[in-house]
Amino acid sequence: MSKIIRFHQLGGPEVLRFEEVEPQQPGKGEVRIRVQAAGLNRAESVYMRGRYFEQPQLPSRLGYEVAGVVEAVGKGVDAGWIGKPVSTVPGFSQNRYGTLGEEAVVPVTVLGEYPANLTPVQAAAIWMQYLTAYGALVLVGHIKAGDFVSIPAASSSVGLAAIQIVRDHGATAIAVTRSAAKREELLALGAHHVIVSETEDYPARIKEITGGKGARITFDPVAGPGIEQLAEGAANGGHLIEYGALSGKPTPFPVMAAMTKGLSVHGYTMLQVTHSRAVAAKAKKYVFDRLADGRFVPKIARTFPFAQTIEAYQYLESNQQVGKVVITVP
């Protein structure tokens, strides 16, 4: 028997259940992974509450990112995958392919081999964050040397990946965080500047940091009424990229800033990378190469054993972490 995580009603981490099931056999085009580590994401938190892009079909599994070893393949899949260490690239249906458990069956197309210098824990903390940031900054924002890039919620795993990508392109990373408690760690992790939104005037600080130019790219997962200040701090012809709605509040369109600055406001998800095989392959190579040579290093905030999955999600939702929360699976 194999242990998996499933939920039978919508709600927070408390609705998650440990269940024993017969080992799944991979179907056509699928593989079965013996899971070693699972990276947690906000996507699962909103999914279990019924607030994600797809609605759970109860009872439902969940989970996007795991690292482990391929132990079985389905029809049409190269048997050479068996025994290989892999991690999963998010973007598939959690209803059909939830990964959180001792084993996961996924399409072979979502496998990503990871560099040998990474541990399974690190490998479970790469694709969601780096591909999300890559698509926004490189494909949408066309980041270039000399750019000023504002990164709200910078202590998240995606925010930290964005800092690394910004630095890699010779641009300036401006981390935005609510609390001063994370300032020094964000600076140590590569941010050139930190703005504490609870105590500092965001538009004024952006103007000071950029010499009056404003941020050419703003990479924001929060949305809500704060978008007005982000727009005020944006550069003429800038890109305001919204990839989340963590505030949970209505988001006004900053029409005056958009008109007077020629500001572009983009709705974005990582699916804009993974929906194209050609784009996804290029993005995965970009991330792989930089992980392999040490330019990119995933930051692990904390690990939890599989038996403490509920506590792990509660910690994720507490916003205490800087980096990725990972579950280790025996």
pLDDT digits (tens, 9 = 90+) for 198-214: 999 999 999 999 999 99
Give the H or E element holding residue 280.
Answer: helix 277-292
190 and 316 part of one domain: no
Predicted pLDDT at 248: 86
Same domain for 151 and 65, yes or no, is: no
Instruction: Name the residue with tokens 């029409």.
Output: 255
Interatomic CA distance for residues 35 and 23, integer angstroms: 13
Q: Does residue 130 have a pLDDT over 90? A: yes
Tell me which of 226, 254, 271 is where a domain ends: 271
In a domain, 221, yes or no: yes
> With bands split at pLDDT 50, 70 and 90, how would you rate the model's confidence at 91?
confident
Residues 80, 154: one domain?
Answer: no
Which residue segment(s) compose the domain that 155 sits in? 128-271
pLDDT in tens, 260-303: 999 999 999 999 999 999 999 999 999 999 999 999 999 999 99
Rounded to two decimals, what is the model's pTM?
0.95
Residue 226: is its pLDDT beyond 90? yes
Mean pLDDT of 86-113: 95
**Residue 10, in any domain of the structure:** yes
Same domain? For 190 and 243 the reply is: yes
A 10 A CB-CB count for 298 gives 23
Same domain, 136 and 69: no
- 33 and 108 part of one domain: yes
| Domain presence at residue 155 | yes
Report pLDDT digits (tens) over 171-199: 999 999 998 999 999 999 999 999 999 99
CATH of the domain at 109: 3.90.180.10
At residue 233, does pLDDT exceed 90?
Answer: yes
Same-domain check for residues 169 and 230:
yes
Instruction: Say what the pLDDT of residue 225 is.
Output: 96
| 106 and 145 together in one domain | no
Mean of pLDDT values over 72-85: 97
Rg (CA), the chain: 20
- Domain membership of residue 306 (yes or no) is yes
Model confidence at 330, pLDDT cuts 50, 70, 90, reads confident
Instruction: Say if residues 86 and 33 touch (Cβ distance below 8 Å).
Output: yes
**% the chain with pLDDT above 90:** 96
Q: Give the residue from 271, 287, 309 where a domain finishes.
A: 271
Region 305-310: mean pLDDT is 98
Q: Is the pLDDT of residue 37 over 90?
A: yes
pLDDT digits (tens, 9 = 90+) for 95-107: 999 999 999 999 9
Residues 190 and 235 reside in one and the same domain: yes
pLDDT confidence of residue 22 = 94
**Which of the listed residues 252, 271, 290 is the one where a domain comes to its end?**
271
Q: Confirm whether 135 is domain-assigned.
A: yes
Residue 195 falls inside a structural domain: yes
Together in a domain, 46 and 114? yes
At residue 197, the pLDDT reads 94
Instruction: Flag whether 281 is in a domain.
Output: no
Q: Is the dihedral of CA 29, 289, 128, 116 positive or negative?
A: positive
Query: What is the rounded distance in angstroms from the CA atom of residue 259 to the CA atom of residue 182?
Result: 35
Q: Average pLDDT of the chain?
A: 96
* Backbone phi and psi for residue 168, each to the nearest 5 degrees, phi listed first: -60, -30
Q: Are residues 29 and 115 in the same domain?
A: yes
Average pLDDT over residues 155-170: 97
pLDDT band at residue 157 under the 50/70/90 scheme? very high
154 and 143 co-located in one domain = yes
Which long-range contacts does 214-217 make (Cβ < 8 Å, 24+ apart)? Answer: 214/148, 214/238, 214/261, 215/148, 215/149, 215/150, 215/174, 216/141, 216/147, 216/148, 216/149, 217/137, 217/141, 217/143, 217/147, 217/148, 217/149, 217/150, 217/241
Q: How many domains does the chain have?
A: 2
Residue 292 forms part of a structural domain: no
